[in-house]
Structure 1
Amino acid sequence: MATLMKDMARPYAGLFAIALVVALLARMGLWVMDMTGTIAYDYISASGVAVLDVICSILTGSAFVAFVFAGSLALTLSTAGVALYGYLTRRDAIPAHPGTAFLWGWATALVAIACLGIVASGILSGVQVASMSSKLPGTLALIAAVAVFAAFIGTLLMAASLVVHACIVRAESPCALAKNLVVATAACGVVVMLLTVGTFASIDTVSINLARAGGWFVADIAANAAMAAIAWRMAKNARPTAA
């Protein structure tokens, strides 16, 4: 598997570099906006409300737009990572494998979080960053939490990558590939949607119930692993022709 990871390293490095350049350019733009007074800050945050309400309460109009951009960049990178995996493993150019799908999914999630952090650091003022930093755990604990969360997202990207790979190897024409992707998106999307709603509801509360939230995260991982296993089996049983 080390050889497979090495074969995919350069394309993924290029993708990650593009995303980081965009994030850094966005951060520079936010710095210019800060220096010129274009972006405003709100120092009054809501209390006694759900987590998302607290976050939104400190965002001004300009900061909110920047926050949406940061989230869009992370989502775009995640989607591009999945598409890149499908492209690299088409026609067995580089053999697909659940291990490489997970590891590159994990790496993609880490870079997406890094890009989100780079842009988000320009959305808040120095006072807000200092205030939030004082409430966060130590550096090592924070790094470990990010790594674990990225691994969690990595299971979803692993499943998506293997589903795309299965759709490609089972398609005999571009039209068939499009049909496969639409059907897979609908089928897997229903599962992901239901689990996302449950997971989001468990954490967007005034006081998070760790047992409840943990249960939803375990269910998410189990579902992602199941979708990945099904896609992997379908890909292995497919005929060798590809679109």
Structure 2
Amino acid sequence: MNTLPPIVDADTWQHQLDALRIREKAATRELDAIAAQRRRLPMVEMPEYTLEGADGPVLLAEIFDGKSQLIVYNHMWFPGEKWQCGGCTWFTSQFTRLGFLDNYDARFVIVTQGPIDEAIAYQRRVGNTMAWYSTANSTFGTDVGAPPGGEFAVNVFLRDGDKVYRTWHTNGRGVEQLSYSFALIDLLPYGRQEQWQDSPEGWPQSPTYSRWSGSQDIAAHYGDPEA
């Protein structure tokens, strides 16, 4: 049986929760301040890239689908592999209902270095619902921090007519802020149960990533593994 948290009376528990709440509220205010600084970032104009979509070549400005704001998840890609990056596949599987972004004049899409026919097949295989685009024949991925053979990234763009501007970028653990999965898991008494985490003595801990759902798991849950 796993080690358990200490058992205390209700007043002691409430006192310690209140102390934690002070730090949680401070973190919320700091995130508000970070978002305010993000809204004040300058931007850089992008060239007129042509990517590949399910229906053929498409200009970067057209990927906005009439919206003024665009979030792009740059998905890692391994040429010739049936199962692509498990972390990217798991992360993007969270986003199945994105219609609410219409109210904010925004869209969320996936861009990958894989050929578009392979990318669309993989999208179907794992049950991903976002629109996918390929930058295999464009320098777009390289220019926004997601080159062939490189890591994943998130980039945000603003469109003014036919002109597109890059407003924000992150990669690595910076992408976590977009995930509701990590937020839920971090509420659990045992947390993510990964060895790098600061946990009490005796807490269950496993190698990093070992509890993450893999690409085949995601396909079994949401898609068509045989596609």
TM over 0.5: no
TM bracket (short chain):
0.3 to 0.5
More strand by share: 2
What is the TM-score of this pair, normalised by structure 1? 0.33
**Greater percentage in helix:** 1
TM-score (norm 2): 0.34
